[in-house]
A and B are shown apart, each in its own frame.
Chain A
């Protein structure tokens, strides 16, 4: 039971570079989410998806792009990374219930 996985787990990139964080779930959950977690802010929603090919902005979407061509994958792309995007990124999924299941997170550092 693989559940929900994220890759890479750790990433260091330079300002201005494009970077893609991957999220994969094996449960066929309809809903998927991307959060970032920073000290003092808790978890903030970046983007979410209700189904394949349906995505929408969350609280802090600027500088990020998502796609969802398959139910099981929900990649998050930073088009031109900035230092303010240094954070821990969590992917989550859920089905008809409200409990969200989180991946292990990606620690991203932008230098």
Chain B
């Protein structure tokens, strides 16, 4: 089983749609969770951290379910500029080297 699993998509949605991505992780000791965004042929960049109580940043809402080891990202009112690959990221709980484990990513295309 992969440490972090995501539906690879692709998700093709019209502008203005709401889309949700899901992710599961295998290590119950993980403490830090993130969503990164990666545009085509570019480096990954942090989109948002995911907190236990859930958090929102504009049109983006992230939620964490520790019992199910499940993370989600909801994008409302999709824009063309949201087209990218979204990476679910979880810390490796062992050691202090700030290691992260990246999911393979979910590809989103927002259509005009």
Contact = CB atoms under 8 A, between A and B. Distances in A.
Interface string A10-47: 00000000000000000000010101000011110100
| Dominant secondary structure of chain A at its interface with chain B | strand
B99 A42 contact: no
A98 B44 contact: no
A74 interface: no
Interface in A37-70: 40-43, 45, 48, 50, 56, 58
Main secondary structure on chain B at its contact with chain A?
Answer: loop
B111 interface: no
A100 B97 contact: no
Interface in B40-75: 41-46, 49
B105 A42 contact: yes
A79 B90 CA distance: 31
